[in-house]
Structures are given as C-alpha cells and as structure tokens.
Structure 1
Amino acid sequence: MKLRPFILVHSLLFLLIANFSSQPWPSIMLTIGQIVYIPIVLQLISKQQGWLNRMYYYFAIPAYSAVAFLQWTDQTSWDGWVAAIYFLFTIMVAIYGVSRFLQRGFVHLEEFSIDLGLIYLAMGGAWFLAYEAGWNTGFSAILTWLTAIHFHYSAFLLPIFIGFLGRQAKSTAYRWISSLLLVSPLIVAIGITFARWIELLSVLLYIIGIGGLIFLAFQCAFQNLWQKLLVRISFLSLAVTISFSLLYAYGNLSHLFIVNIDFMLRFHGLLNCVVFALCGVVGWSLHVPSQKPSRSAFPISQIRGGLVIGENLMEIIKNDRNGPSYWGLVDDMRVYGVDKQTLSPMIIDFYERTIDYRLFAKINWSSWFKPLAALYRIWSKCMQQINLPIHHREIEMTGDIWRIRKDLDGRTAPRAWLRKIDDEIVFVALYSEHRTNERNYMNIALPLPWSAMIGILDVKPLGSGLQLTSKRDQQQSDAGIYLTWKRYVFKLPLEECFHIEEVQTGELRAKHKMWIFGLPFLKIDYKIKQK
C-alpha cells in the first residue's frame, strides 16, 4: 500500500472512531497513537521489507477493529478479551523488532534504536490490556492508562525518531545521547513501580538526553525545509513537556504538587500527542532516511559445538587428520599487507611458526566484572571453551595447531589452535582469513553450543609491532565480534585489541584487551618465548 492513501485511510478511521466514541476525551490521545501514528510509522520502517503488508490483514486490522470496538462501547466483561487482540498485534511488532536485530545485531546504533522502539510497543500493549481488563497492577486505573500512553509515545515513537535522525547524520555525540534516551523509558517504569526518587532521576536523564537530541536536530541537514521545521518542532516540544514531567515527578517525591494529573493530561498529554507525535510523523513521512547496509558478506565457519566444546571438537578434528599439519596460525603474513622489512622478524615467525613458541599469560578481570566471570567460569569449565582462570598468576598455555577440512569449515585454509592450561582445555579457536574490498582480515571462529562467536580482526603494523583489532576505522569495515546462530549473524557489543611487540631478543610481549558496551572487562598480558 502506498503511503499517502495509507495515511488517508487511517486518518479517516480515527475520525470515525473519535466521532462515535463513548469514552472520555483523554482516551482519544491513546487511540490516535494506536490508529494513526503507529500504523504510519510501521509503514515507514517496513516498506522496504514489506513485513507490514504481509502481516497487515492477519494482525493489524483485527487490532484496529478491537480499538474501535472499545471506543464505541461502554465497559463490558469482554473488554479484556478484545484488548488482548490489540496486545497480540503489539507482540507481533515486537517479534519483528527482534528479527531485525538478529539479522544485524549492534552494527548500527540507529537501527538498534528502531528495534528497541518496536520491542517497547509490546509493553504498551500489555499495559493497555491491563487497563481494559481491570487487572490489579498495584496502581490506580489512571496511572495504568498513563503508563500505556508512555510506552506508545516515549518508548515507541521517540526511539524510532531517534533512529531516523541517526540515519540522517550520526556523530560521536549521537552514541551517548541516544543510549541515554533508550534506557530512560525502562528507568521511568522502574521508578513508577519501586521508588519515586528513581522516577525523578529518570526524568533528569530524559532532560539531558532531549537537550542533546535538540542540539543534534539543529546540526542535521534535512531533505527539505518542511521536514527540517517539523522535525525540529517535534523535538523542541519535548523540552517543554519534560519540564512539566520534572515538576510532576518532584511533586510525587516531595508531596509539594506544582502540577497534578489533570494538568498533565490536558497540557502534557495534548502537547505530546499533537505537537511531538504529529509533527514528527508528518516530518519523517516527507523523507525516510535510507538504512545503511547491515554487514559485509564475509565467510563464516560452519562448525558448531555441543554442550562440551573442547574434547568433542578436537576428537572430530584428530580423527579427520593424523597429527598437527600446520606450523602457524598464518601461512604467510604478507597476505595482511605486512612489510617484512619493517615488522619485527620474530613477530612474523610467531604467526607463521606458532608451535615453535611457548606462551605465558596473566589474566586480569576488571573488578566490576569479576562476579560475572566467576559465574561464567562454572559453565566454561564444563564447556571447555573460553575457559579462563579467575586468578592473575602467570600460567603457561600449551597446545597444537590442527588442520581442518575446508568442506567441513567452509573457509580458506582453516586450522584449529587448541590451547590448554596444564591438562585443561581453555580455548579452541578456528583460524582463517578473508578479503573484502582489497583488504584482508583475520577470521577467527570460537565454536559455542549450537552457535559460534566470530572475531573479524583488522591487522595493522604499529611501528615495529603489530595490532589486531575488532574496532572499525571506517563504516564499511568487516571488523567486529559477531555471534552466528542458524541463519542469523549479528554483531555483539564487544571489542578487542591485541598488540604484540618484540621487547628483547627471543621474547615477545603482547596485551589483549576486551570491552563490553565500551567498558573494559578483561586484560591478558602475554609473554612469548621461543622453545
């Protein structure tokens, strides 16, 4: 369905519902979101994939009919069942958001923002169902209904508008501002449920995030003048509404009410409904920024693990070939554009003849991550994969490199590097390489239960040393850490950097650092000596 007729149909449907509504006027604020804003925004997101067109008749039309029925009738014993039809529709939208994420992962923050908006809508559907069914949520009926509105506007429309803005012009500041706004809806819900001071804190976070969002909107170049005006007005209206939210949250905490619920309904609600949502939907409808490609089609190992990785996987490899058949992790370091005249000969020799070296390691978990590392250690000992000790004493890692059949793995010249501490398997990493856009990457797979973690590392000379990193230096780089499961390959919020250099004759030192969501959680110091 084309966009303009689609907007016309839903606008007329809303006018028909509103004209014959038997419910109090504030309920219209939620209805216009359900009947007009949500369908149009879904169409803007999914028109390239065609998802909404395929699912429209099965879930959307019954959902809109259910909303119309609830508006046209007085309260009945069937209201909960009717609202459940709309809730099912929001569940399908959330599943669509999850499927978008699984096809891409954390590659583009602006797309994740859109995914999260789609997922949050199911929470709005759940609160709408609770209100219509008359369930005891621990709150008054009006607060239950206001929470439903919150998840339809602040938690659904706002993240999607943030995602559209990120598609148009993404900067370094965008990452922090959008992350702050994406977690705020959940903090608001937690605050309303558990503590008023958390609610007040969430509003303060909203204020900081919205201020940054308005700044980005005024820095962004839009497609045309009307879109620029409408989108900026939409975001500016949030600065007004969030100010009154702050006064309301402060009143809940201090019991000095400057604004009450009635005022919030009349002023805050109408401003969000008419200015923020309407201007935003119309503005982005004028031009939807294109979605960036999700990832390059780099080769991925086809080997997956079971509950036990180490011994079972090595048994398969050993039975397939007798004895180690590769000397090193790489046959020739020149495939990575390495200049053998400038790079330390010992580093080159380590990668090309790895089995001729002894490897000593000191593992250092970040203090904040140690409780999680201790819990993971229980599982990793049984799994025999990424099985690192908690202590930071120096230990020696031993192991061999084994050939893997290409038809078993699917990549170029694959090989398995088995590492042990004493007799305990700690790593089984499957090494290969691939080339994208005239650039070679180290392609490493770590089999996991019925899945695999893929590390795509960019290899860069750094003086006389070498750096291998998953951090991207350009948008179209393959570098990153991914998880592959069935047909899905999505980027994880993990980064790693491995820096190796020769410190003295016959000895290399290396530092391996890892981050999750930008926070450092693991550092491994290696001492590498020739046997």
Structure 2
Amino acid sequence: MKANLKQRLFSPISLAGMFFFLGSSLFIAEPYLLMLTAAQLIFIPLMLQLLVEVKRKHIVFTWISMLSVFLIQVVPSNAGQSVLAFLYLVFTFFVALTGIKRFFKRGFTNWAEISIDIGMMYLFVGGLWFFAYIAEIDTGFSPLITWLTAIHFHYSAFLFPVSLGFFGRLHTSKWYPFIVCSILAGPMLVAIGITFWPLLEFISVLVYIFAIYSLIFLAFQTRFASKLQAILIRLSYSALGITIIFSLFYAANSAFGSWFVSIDFMLVFHGFFNCVVFGLLGVLGWVMAPPETNQAVWDFPVSQIRGKLKGAGEPRPGLVGDLSDFVDVKCFPDTIVQFYEQTDRYQLVASVKWSTWFKPLAWCYKWISTQMQQLNLPISSKPTEMTYTIRAVDPELDGRKSPRAWIRKVENNTVFVAIYSQHETEGRTYMNIALPLPFSSMIGILQLDAVDGRLVLSSEGDGDSGIYLAVGETIFKLPLSEYFIISEQSGGMLTAEHKMKIFGVPFLRIDYRIGEK
C-alpha cells in the first residue's frame, strides 16, 4: 500500500503537477484561486492515473494541460492566456472522450463505473467554463460566478463522481444507485437552477444533501483496505456534509431572498473544506489503495448477422430443441414444453399495449420499424393474429449453436425476426436471442425459471441476463429489460405476458393467447 502511494505520488506527472502548483502560487494574487489550480495540477492528474493505463498519449495531453495552466499565470496577454486555456480545454475533451469510450465498452450496467464515466465527461464542462473565464467571454454572469462554475465542475462534477465510483467498487447496496443518480444529476440541476429557476437550485441542494449524508452513513459501514484509508475517505465525505449545509443557506438566499452567508465567506469556508479536506484527503485515500473494478467482461456468444436476415434454411418445428436444457420441465404443464419444442403447432393472437407516456414515441418509431421490418409492432391494442415460420440459420453465418429464426408477421408486414440460440455460463443455460438491426444486432439474454407452475423468462436475472446492442466487437448493455410469464389456462390454452421497461419504467406490454391450430 505504501509502495502504491509512493509510486503514484512521486511519478513524473505527479511531481510535475506539484512543481507547477508551487510555481503558480507565486503568481496568483488571490489565494482562493489556488483551489481550481490544485484540482487542475494535482488532484485530476492523480485520479486519472488510477483510472486508465497511462500511455504516451495520456502523458502528452497531461503535460500539455499542466504546463498550460501554469503558463496562464505567467503570460501577461489575454490572447496568450486564451490560447493556453484552450489547450487545457482540449485536455478535458480528451478525458471526456475516454469516459465515453469506457461507457460504450460496457453500457448501462455497474453504477460505480457509470459514476466514473460521467465524472470524466463532466470535466469537459468544467474546461468550457474555465476557458470562458480566462477568455473573458460574456456568459451572462459575473467573472467570479463563471470561475465558481468552473471549480464546481472540477470538484463536484469530476472528483466527487470519480470518488463515488471508487467507493462503489467496495460497497453495493440498494441505496447506492440512488446516491449515484442524485450526485450525477446535481451539477446540472444546480447550474440550471442558478440560470433559470432559483427554487430548482434549492430543491436540488436538498436532494444532494440527502445523498451526501446517505453516502457518509454508508462510508462508516464499509470496510476499506486499511484504517488510514477509511479515515481519509470518511473525513473527505464528512467535509462535504459540512459544506453542503452552507450551500443550502446560499441557495435559500437565491430562492427566497434572505442572506444567511456571504459569498466571501463561502469562498474561504468552501475553499478550505472542499479543497483541503475533501479534495486532498480524498485523493490521498484512493491513491493509497485504489479498488479494482468488479465489472465482468461480456464473453457470451453473439450473433454475427447484421441487417436483414438472408438465406434462412429448412423449417424447424420449435424455438428450441429441448426445453429441459434451460429449466426443470417437470415444474410446469406439458403444454408449455410442447409450445417451445413444437411451436409450429400453435396459433398466436397478440394484443399490443403501449404505455400512454410512450405512445408519441411509438408513433414516431413506427415509420422506421416499417422500413426495417424489424421490431415492427402495431400501434393498436386490437387483438391481432401473428403468423410465423421457424427456419434454420447457418451456424457458420451466425456464429452460435444451432440458430433458428422465428419470423413473425401481421398480414404482410414482418413484426419480428428473432434468431434463437443458447449458451451456458457457470452451469446455467441461457436463451440467447438476436434481432438483426442495420449494422448491429440487439441481443436478449434470458434466464428461464419455473415459478408456481408457470415459465418465467427474464432479462433481469443474474449473470449474463440482459438486453444488449452488439456493434462490431463492442457489446453495450441497454437500459431495457423484458419479462415473460407463460401459463396454462383451462382447456390447454396458454397465455403469455410480455412486459418491457426502459430505465425501469414500463413502456410496453404484449398479451398473447396461444392455442393449438
């Protein structure tokens, strides 16, 4: 642990940042301005070394940014300072781009890594405000407010989300996603509130306070790599618990017009607690023993078919060869087994029900889906028969085990082209379904369970379960989930409910009546 601390604190980048910071302190007239300089020259370079494998391009961009920040204090002309601030802006864009690349390698999964990704993207916003401050661009605010917004996006929108992401690698609970969402939304909500609606600023600070105090509570319940790291991180978060109360008083002044604290007091008070206690102690705490990511690598087989399916082969009787590969078939009626293994014996009548809030989007998407002949669901909820064929697909073309395409139509319009296969991970067999899209493929990995005599297929299970988008070699988890329940009614009739959510909010339900032809 001490070796890690020594190695990172005394790396060439870290030493250069400290040297430039000391040099800058000789030229900066107002001490409070050093708060932003400390973040730019010391805290951000240190944290980035914990996030990415340092390569030549990272070294070059970081050195240019640190030299630019230092020279801004030395160069007398506004034009020269603007050029140097622009170079720093390019660095923040590079960091944001790295965050975007990290996100698209994984998608909407793992709140800890999402927090880090968004923090890296936010830094570019901080770079924009810093450039506006140095270049004396009229933002509609005073130069001081412009500078405060820049520092806000360096500390609250970069350092805090990255620290929160490291914490999430150590701690998981039902409260953590709420804390992440609140913290990530906070910088933008505060900025919007300051600009347009002071009451929103006040409300967002209240949410921010609840999230921070929840985080402080969880930090005292979490085991860290060492006692010293625990002390540093807990002190770092506790400092935010103090400063955010005074931020609430300041926001109350904007919303209700009653002064509680002055901006001069905020500069000195926040400068000490946010820069020294939160920033310095927090960065040192994570540098001591940065936790490793617990993000799994997606390594399940993915269909290689993109665009329209071509060359479907011989007919197949069912969607699967043997349903017992997935689940204990003794736990539900034989008719459910027969439907999956001898699907061509059955007739489907579907009733599509879009959520009211989603209907405008469904109408807009309808034209696109009609052109693609994929995911082309009716807008009407009227019960409609879906005709279909099941065809074998060349395994060499698809790349998965025994693929077969289920092609469903309503009259002459194709509704779904879903290519069914399966794979096994850690002793569990998943249904691996691909829906070819232009230049990509949507992948549904479903786990099957028997629940109270019904068959449940869900993308919300453990392991590989989920809905993904495959583009090239990239597998991106989408913020979608689906849930099927298939049960037997009287007379051997089957019913199925297919529910879909986006970001956890229901937007589609399809009810099926399934009977023998």
- TM-score greater than 0.5 by the shorter chain: yes
Choose the corresponding residue for 1:317, options 298, 311, 315. 311
- The question of whether the paired residues in 2 share the 8 Å contact of 1:14 and 1:36 is answered with no
Q: Pairwise mapping of residues 185-224 of structure 1 onto structure 2 (< 5 A)?
A: 185-224=187-226
CA contact (8 A) 2:21 2:41 kept: no
- For structure 2, the residue ranges without an aligned partner over 5 or more in a row are none
- Once the two structures are TM-superposed, the CA of residue 68 in structure 1 deviates from its matched residue by 0.3
1:11 Cα deviation from its structure 2 partner: 5.4
Correspondence for 1:508: 494
Looking at structure 1, the residues matched to 29 and 197 of structure 2 have their Cα atoms a distance apart, in angstroms, of 32
**Following TM superposition, by how much is the alpha carbon of 1:296 offset from its aligned partner in structure 2, in angstroms?**
3.5
Aligned match for 2:252, one of 232, 250, 253: 250
The TM-score with structure 2 as length reference comes to 0.96
Aligned partner of 1:484 in structure 2 is 470
Q: Which moved more, 1:18-27 or 1:219-228?
A: 18-27
Q: Alignment RMSD, CA only?
A: 1.6
For the pair 1:86 / 2:80, whether they are aligned, the reply is no
**Residues 470 and 167 (structure 1), Cα distance of their counterparts in 2 relative to 1, 3 Å cut:** same
Q: Deviations over 1:38-85 (max 9, x none)?
A: 000001112xxx1x3332332111111100001223452222211110
Give 1:411 shift. 0.4
Q: 2:415 aligns with which of 399, 402, 426?
A: 426
How far did residue 8 of structure 1 move? 5.3
- 1:23 to partner: Cα distance: 4.3
- Between the aligned partners of 1:57 and 1:160, the Cα distance in structure 2 is 20
Q: Give yes or no for contact 2:14–2:45 (8 Å, CA) kept in 1.
A: no
Match of 2:10 among 5, 8, 19: 5
Per the TM alignment, residue 213 of structure 1 is displaced from its structure 2 partner at its CA by 0.8
Alignment match of 2:327 (pick from 321, 332, 337)? 337
Q: Deviations over 1:428-448 (max 9, x none)?
A: 111100111111000001112
Q: Give the distance between the partners of 1:372 and 1:236, measured in 2 at CA.
A: 44
**Separation in structure 1 between the aligned mates of residue 233 and residue 51 of structure 2, nearest angstrom:** 17
* Match among 119, 129, 133 for residue 127 of structure 1: 129
Q: Gaps (5+ residues) in structure 1?
A: 306-312
| Pairing 1:41–2:47 present | yes
Instruction: Measure how far apart 1:90 and its partner are.
Output: 0.7
**Residues 298-317 of structure 1: pairs in structure 2 closer than 5 A:** 298-305=300-307, 313-314=308-309, 316-317=310-311
The offset of 1:141, in angstroms, is 1.1
Deviation at 1:31, TM superposition (A): 0.4
Alpha-carbon distance between aligned partners in 1 of 2:21 and 2:87, rounded to the nearest angstrom: 21
SS in 2 for 1:522: strand
SS of residue matched to 1:347: helix
Following the alignment from structure 1 to structure 2, what is the Cα–Cα distance between the partners of residues 434 and 231?
42
Matched positions, count = 511
CA distance in 2: counterparts of 1:74 and 1:258, whole angstroms: 38
Pick from 36, 41, 55: which aligns with 1:30? 36
Q: How big is the shift at 1:127?
A: 0.8
Hey, what's the Cα distance between the residues in 1 that align with 2:67 and 2:96? 20
CA displacement, residues 148-206 of structure 1 (integer Å, 9 cap, x when unaligned): 10110000011111111110011111111222211111111221222211211211111
> Do 2:321 and 2:341's aligned partners in 1 also have CA atoms closer than 8 Å?
yes
AA matched with 2:328? V
Distance 2:297 2:508 in 1: 26
The one-character-per-residue Cα deviations of 1:479-508 (angstroms, maximum 9, x if unpaired) are: 111111122112111111111011122310
How far apart are residue 270 of structure 1 and its match?
A: 2.5
Distance (Å, rounded) in 2 between the aligned partners of 1:334 and 1:248: 63
Write out per-residue CA displacement over residues 358-398 of structure 1, whole angstroms, 9 at most, x where no aligned residue: 11111122222222222222322222211112222211111
Report the equivalent of 1:309.
Answer: none
Determine what percentage of the aligned residue pairs are the same residue: 46
Please report how far the alpha carbon of residue 29 of structure 1 lies from its aligned counterpart in structure 2 after TM superposition.
0.6
Report the TM-score when normalising by structure 1.
0.93
Amino acid at match of 1:333: L
Instruction: Answer yes or no: is the 8 Å Cα contact 1:87–1:129 preserved in 2.
Output: yes
Residues 1:395 and 2:384 aligned together: yes
Q: Which residue of 2 aligns with 1:499?
A: 485
Asked whether the 8 Å contact 1:22–1:74 carries over to 2, the reply is no
Q: How does 1:430-445 map to 2 (within 5 A)?
A: 430-445=419-434
Counterpart Cα distance in 2 of 1:154 and 1:22: 23
Partners of 1:58 and 1:283 lie apart in 2 by 26
DSSP 3-state at the match of 2:220: helix
- Cα 1:10–1:504 shift into 2, 3 Å: farther
Q: Could you report, residue by residue, the CA deviation over 1:295-346 in whole angstroms, capped at 9, with x for unpaired residues?
A: 34100000111xxxxxxx24x224xx3xx4211110111211323x332111
Write the letter of the residue equivalent to 1:3.
R
Query: Match of 2:449?
Result: 460
